[in-house]
A and B are shown apart, each in its own frame.
Chain A
Amino acid sequence: IIFYIFSTLYFQLSFSPLVPQENAGQFFSSGHTNNWAVLVCTSRFWFNYRHVANTLSVYRSVKRLGIPDSHIVLMLADDMACNHRNPKPATVFSHKNMELNVYGDDVEVDYRGYEVTVENFLRVLTGRLPPSTPRSKRLLSDDRSNILIYLTGHGGNGFLKFQDSEEISNVELADAFEQMWQKRRYNELLFIIDTCQGASMYERFYSPNLMALASSQVGEDSLSHQPDLAIGVHLMDRYTFYLLEFLEDIHPSSKANMNDLFKVCPKSQCVSTPGHRTDLFLRDPGSALITDFFGSVRKVEITMETINLTEPIQQRQKETYSYVDQLPVSEIIHQKPKQKDWHPPDGFILGLWTLILLVFFKTYGMKHLKHIF
């Protein structure tokens, strides 16, 4: 009996510290400590307004759920908001009758216009960027990052078109992900693609910890949702429209998991059949939360240390300064020509002289050489 009492006491005492630990444990069960998102719109021209609206709606959801701008690489191939055809500048709408402005007032686009190319996209993924690339344009992920990659545009069986001039194939994409895996650039990766025949893009993946979703199967087209008569173009694609609706119900502490995401946009709403691929994902998709990819884990470190700031030493200048004359006419007129550095003669001049000398010596014979030298 005593033992029974003590065991219950033991369990009671051990239970209370365990509950926050359980929560903490759940918090870190996915194994990631930071979140990144790479959102790409690959289409140019005004009639592809819906692709920019797609990308911006995912950007908006991801930002709302907690991922900061410094962890989002947003690539938009064309500017729709300040396009001269836009009847309401600085806005991109996702719902007709202009209900929801997904562009907002606080948006930072990292790659825009002509910068959105296959090369730049692959360089961002693999991290092989020139050293002078600014931080906001880099994907600085590590082996504990969960990355969300969203692509939208026009695509086909095995390829995705970038800006009407080049394509990326599913093999290249799979190889890029394998490079990322080998360089330990991600912990888990969620790949969402909203193009025609989108499922062909994830067929070739072979790296672990990848989960992929597509808006349509091979041989099917992804359709757009609804046009707006004032703006004159289709505003969103169906899959992303219903994805946005689904994500609007998610809040940062939501427990919805990936299986709910797979159910977004059934054939009745989407007309195409969305597909997904989870065989490379090591965890059970039911245990992966939506916020694992769309939300953000923030790490706060509290420190009690103090740092002493040193005062910079003021140095007094004794000389007087003055402003420069903006248009010193006399000085300009009498400006000396710049000293040009001497360059050795160009190849053309050398070749010309060689030809002249050759002709000369051919006609007059070699014995005249001694007269020259």
Chain B
Amino acid sequence: MAAHRCSLSALLLIICSLLVFIVADSEKATLTGDHHATAVDNLQTVTETEEGAAAEEPAVEEERRWEETVVEEATADKEDTSAPETVVQSSVPQPKDDFQEELVIRPLHSGDIYASFQFRTLWETDFMRGNKVSHYRLFPKSLGQVISKFSVRELHISFTQGYWRTMQWGQPFLPSPPGAELWVWFQDSVTDVDGTWKELTNVLSGIFCASLNFIDSTNTVQPSASFKPLGIGNVTDHRFLRYATLPREIVCTENLTPWKKLLPCGSKAGLAVLLKSEKLFHSSFHSQAVHIRPVCQDWQCKTTSWELRQTLNVVFDLHTPGQGKLEWSLFKMFSRTLTEACPLASSSKIYIDITDDPQGEQFEVSPATHLLSQAMVLGDRRTFSVYDLTQQITFGTVRSLNLLIRWKSSEGDMLRPLLHAERYVAGYGLQTGEIHTLMYNNHPYRSFPVLLLDSVPWYLRLYIHTLTVTSKGKDNKPSYIHYQPSKDRVRPHLLEMLVQLPPNSVTEVTVQFERALLKWTEYTPDPNHGFYVGSSVISSLVPSIVAMDTNSTREQPLFSSFFPCKEESSYFMRVYTEPLLVNLPTPDFSMPYNVICLTCTVVAVGYGSLYNLLTRSFQIEEPSPGLAKRIANIIRKMRGVPPL
């Protein structure tokens, strides 16, 4: 009986203990759940890249060998791969997005090689309507939130290291000034544009790891005629435009890292695997940019979609690899080869510019390809060999693509670029100076208008009465001038002029200035480096050599479809001048220390000598007596008798 009871109680005990442990376990789990989790919204994580090629459209049309025809090809029926179908409606309308990537390699006449990456994401959605967008697929969430929160209509930001040498390299596909440049068009619904601009720059500085928070009213301008929106829109009220540059901004891997994370495939697949910072920054020119704008979806242009273009232009120096042979390969340039296209991309292509060498005399490209394409870019018709990465045969049997370009001869000179600009500071001393801007029109018989935008910081006080515009020695009066004077520590100078450049001439714009003295707390920690003045922007409609294609929605490679083209005889171009580096009169910052030392020394020596001279009195002193006398004196002192 007792044993039974014992066993029963023991069994009960065991069950109870087990229950206790189970309860304790779950309690501990909930305890950890209560602690605040740092679920920080990491803006740079690429979320849905691993989804795979779910909604991708098969790229069947890539097989054809397409050549350019001046006549428009078949219209809306084509409805090619890139723009998502708007006519076909599913039962539940789903915002469709599309991603394309391309790389253009152009060997330059100076022997350098110019590589331009373009990644475009098109998304048929509306950020501006009431309902918030909550599901992001190819479009990065961080930028989508920026657009909807700050009511951005267009955003263009670029980070550049180096200066584009137009005379040696020709025109870039997408120009950019040295340093950082940001210009934004806001929607009409924004009430406080300046406040929104300040917040936007702070948010972008966090996204791109750049010190864009230094953009404030002292370097922001509101151009009145330049920088018209590149996307679609009817109203162009320049109150909603803001433009700022930071010429001192450094571009390094920390800017490239978040930029790469905005891509759908990241830097793991597709063309972005070539973007290795060690090679990219060891170049003569490096520029990365993000452009967001609304575009037409089809030729009817009844609906819009948001386009995000990420571009990266880099010019590799001939002498960098260290070998004298004129031979370029993807491996030499980027230290990587390509193995696959990005699975999320609907098109992934490499274009090599072979216009200068149609017969294969100057250079040879391997592996050879049959696909050729012609495109109208920068006013010229150029021929390209195309490598389609979505086709497996491009990669061959080794499963990797390493393009090789071998130069056979190095002759032939480049066509001179039609528009070219320079800027420099003249004068001597630290008080006054003169800014000279030179604009070259190299067209033999056509003249064209240019719009010059100059934004000079307030500490260079411009004297606009000394502004002169001369071409060919004669005065050239601009047909439009807009000048907004600066206010000390509030806003910079803004000078916009519409100048007609006569054919085959140099136009020189000069203006004198005076340097201001800054307050000593306003100096940077390294003031002797100098202070930068941002590049001037020259926007112009340059006459083109061949008739441009005005149908903006035909299937075009990305590099030729950035600037919208309205007329056939000219194309729009922007040229940036060099930034200026001026020295301001800098006080001696070690001055207090030096002054104190010097003053104290002078005072000590002067006062000390004077004091001594006035108060020193001389007393006659007996020479010290001998030892015996000293002992005798001591004894006498003890006795109380006067000494000897």
Residue ranges of A at the interface with B (Cβ–Cβ < 8 Å)? 2-3, 6, 9-10, 13-14, 17, 21, 24, 28, 33-34, 44-45, 68-71, 79, 81-82, 88-91, 103-115, 130, 132-137, 140, 142, 144, 163-165, 299, 301, 309-329, 332-333, 335, 338
B37 touches A299 (CB 8 A): yes
Besides the contacts A321-B301, A326-B541, what 8 more A-B pairs have beta carbons closer than 8 Å?
A79-B250, A82-B281, A112-B250, A135-B41, A137-B205, A322-B232, A326-B230, A329-B498
**Segment among B111-119, B127-135, B166-174, B411-419 that sits at the interface with chain A:** B127-135
Known: A33-B36, A140-B38. A2 touches B480 (CB 8 A): no
Taking a contact as CB atoms under 8 Å apart, the answer to whether A134 and B206 are in contact is yes
Is B229 in contact with A134, judged by CB distance below 8 angstroms?
no
Q: Identify the closest chain B residue to A105 (Cβ).
A: B277
Across the interface, B524 reaches (CB within 8 A) one of A79, A103, A114, namely A114
A6:B13 contact, CB within 8 angstroms: yes
Contact in complex: A44, B134 (CB < 8 Å): no
Task: Please name all residues of chain A whose beta carbon is closer than 8 Å to the beta carbon of B233 when the two chains form the complex.
Answer: 321, 324
Q: Which residue of A lies closest to B21 (CB)?
A: A17
State whether B213 touches A2 (Cβ < 8 A): no
Bound CA span A166–B542, Å = 51
Which among B228, B250, B253 is the interface contact of A113 at CB below 8 angstroms? B250
- B198 neighbours in A (Cβ, 8 Å): 132
Contact of A320 among B206, B229, B278, B302 (CB under 8 A): B302
Q: Contacts A88-B282, A134-B203: A326 and B251 contacting too (C-beta < 8 A)? A: no
B494 CB within 8 Å of chain A: no
Q: Which residue of A lies closest to B482 (CB)?
A: A335
Q: Tell whether, in the assembled complex, residue B229 and residue A324 are in contact, meaning their CB atoms are under 8 Å apart.
A: yes
B43 CB within 8 Å of chain A: yes
Cβ contacts under 8 Å, A134 to chain B: 202-203, 205-207
Q: In the complex the two chains form, what is the Cα distance from A333 to B209 in whole Å?
A: 40
State whether A90 and B278 are in contact (beta carbons under 8 Å apart), knowing that A71-B38, A144-B35, A323-B564 are contacts in the complex.
Answer: yes
Bound form: Cα–Cα A151–B526 in Å: 21
CA distance A111 to B232 in the complex (A): 36
Question: Is A107's CB under 8 angstroms from B17's CB?
Answer: no
Alpha-carbon separation in the docked complex, A45 to B43 (Å): 32
B25 touches A21 (CB 8 A): yes
Nearest chain-B residue to A27 (Cβ)?
B32
Nearest A residue to B214, CB-CB: A114
Question: Any chain A CB within 8 A of the CB of B509?
Answer: no
CA distance A299 to B32 in the complex (A): 9
Contacts of B302 in A (CB 8 A): 316-321
**Cβ-neighbour of A135 out of B43, B225, B228, B540 (below 8 A):** B43
- Contact-residue size bin, chain B (C-beta under 8 Å from the other chain): 35 or more
Please, how many angstroms separate the alpha-carbon atoms of A17 and B252 in the complex?
A: 52
With both chains docked as a complex, state the minimum distance between the C-beta of A15 and any C-beta of chain B, in angstroms.
11
Q: For A327, list chain B residues within 8 Å (CB).
A: 228, 449, 451, 539-541, 572
Q: Assess whether B552 is in contact with A323, with CB atoms less than 8 Å apart.
A: yes
**Min CB gap A33→B, angstroms:** 5
Q: Among residues 17 to 55 in chain B, which have CB atoms less than 8 Å away from a CB atom of chain A?
A: 17-18, 21, 24-25, 28, 32-33, 35-38, 40-44
Which residues of B528-587 have CB atoms within 8 Å of chain A's CB atoms?
539-541, 552, 563-564, 566, 572
User: Which residue of the partner chain B has the closest CB to A140?
Assistant: B40
- Give the residue of A106, A311, A314 whose beta carbon is less than 8 angstroms from that of B257: A106
CB closest chain-B residue, reference A17: B21
- Which stretch from B92-100, B366-374, B432-440, B634-642 is at the chain A interface? B92-100
Residues of B within 8 A of A (CB): 3, 6-7, 10, 13-14, 17-18, 21, 24-25, 28, 32-33, 35-38, 40-44, 92-95, 125-126, 129, 131, 133-135, 161, 198-199, 202-203, 205-207, 209-211, 213-214, 224-225, 228-234, 236, 248, 250-254, 257-258, 276-278, 280-282, 296, 300-304, 449, 451, 479-480, 482, 498, 524-526, 539-541, 552, 563-564, 566, 572, 589
**When the two chains form their complex, are residues A326 and B563 in contact, meaning their CB atoms are under 8 A apart?**
yes
**A335 contacts which chain B residues (CB < 8 A)?**
224-225, 480, 482
- Per the bound structure, the CA–CA distance linking A136 and B258 in Å amounts to 12
What's the least CB distance linking B294 to chain A, in Å?
Answer: 8
16 interchain pairs, CB-CB under 8 A: A6-B10, A6-B14, A21-B28, A81-B281, A108-B254, A112-B210, A112-B250, A165-B525, A301-B37, A312-B129, A319-B302, A323-B566, A324-B233, A327-B449, A327-B541, A329-B449
Report the separation of the CA atoms of residues A81 and B304 in the bound assembly, to the nearest whole angstrom: 42
Pick from A110, A112, A142, A310: contact of B36, CB below 8 A: A142
In contact, B296 and A321 (Cβ under 8 angstroms): yes
Distance (Å) between the CB of A305 and the closest chain B CB? 14
Q: What chain B residues lie within 8 Å of A33 (beta carbons)?
A: 35-38
User: Chain A contact residues: over half helix, strand or loop, or mixed?
Assistant: loop
Smallest Cβ distance from A119 to chain B, in angstroms?
12
Closest to B249 in A: A113
Q: Is the CB of A70 within 8 A of B40?
A: yes
Are B281 and A89 touching (Cβ within 8 A)? yes
Question: B101 to nearest A CB, angstroms?
Answer: 20
Assess the A326–B17 pair: CB atoms within 8 A. no
List A contacts of B211 (CB < 8 A).
Answer: 111-115
Which among B95, B205, B230, B232 has the greatest number of chain A C-beta atoms within 10 A? B205
Given contacts A13-B18, A90-B281, contact A24 B250 (CB under 8 A): no
Residues in A with CB closer than 8 Å to B228 are 324-328
Taking a contact as CB atoms under 8 Å apart, the answer to whether A108 and B258 are in contact is yes
CB distance from A327 to the nearest CB of B (A): 5
Q: Are B253 and A90 in contact (CB under 8 A)?
A: yes
Residue of A nearest to B498 (CB): A332
Question: In the complex, are the beta carbons of B38 and A164 less than 8 A apart?
Answer: no
Bound CA–CA A34/B40 (angstroms): 11
Nearest CB in chain B: distance from A164 CB, A: 5
Whether the Cβ atoms of B563 and A105 lie closer than 8 Å is no
Q: A81 touching B253 by the CB < 8 A rule?
A: yes
Task: Give the distance in Å from the alpha carbon of A134 to the alpha carbon of B199 in the complex.
Answer: 9
Whether the pair A301, B33 counts as a contact (CB closer than 8 A) is: yes
Closest A residue to B540 by CB, please name it.
A327
Question: Which A-B residue pairs are the 5 nearest by beta carbons?
Answer: A134-B206, A323-B564, A314-B93, A82-B252, A90-B281
| Complex interface: chain A residues within 8 A of B18 (CB) | 13
Contact check, A110 vs B209: say whether CB atoms are below 8 A apart: yes
User: How distant is A43 from chain B, measured CB to nearest CB, in Å?
Assistant: 10
CA of A312 to CA of B7, assembled, Å: 66
Residue among A14, A134, A299, A318 with the highest chain B CB neighbour number at 10 A: A134
Give CA–CA (A81, B254) in the complex, Å: 10
Q: Do the beta carbons of B479 and A333 come within 8 Å of each other?
A: yes
Residue of B nearest to A312 (CB): B131
Instruction: State in angstroms the CA–CA spacing of A316 and B126 once bound together.
Output: 11
Using known A-B contacts A13-B17, A106-B257, A327-B540, determine if residue A315 contacts B126 with beta carbons closer than 8 Å: yes
Q: Are A133 and B37 in contact (CB under 8 A)?
A: no
Cα A143 to Cα B540 in complex, Å, equals 58
Cβ–Cβ < 8 Å partners of A13 in chain B: 14, 17-18
A14 and B17: CB pair below 8 A?
yes
Closest to B258 in A: A108
Closest CB of chain A to B132's CB: distance in Å?
A: 8
CB distance from A104 to the nearest CB of B (A): 8
Contacts of B236 in A (CB 8 A): 324
A91, B282: Cα distance in complex, Å: 10
**Are the CB atoms of B10 and A115 closer together than 8 Å?**
no
Do the beta carbons of B36 and A9 come within 8 Å of each other?
A: no
State in angstroms the CA–CA spacing of A236 and B71 once bound together: 65
Q: Chain B contacts of A315 at CB under 8 A?
A: 126, 129
Are B253 and A103 touching (Cβ within 8 A)? yes
Q: Which residues of B contact A112 (CB under 8 A)?
A: 209-211, 250, 254
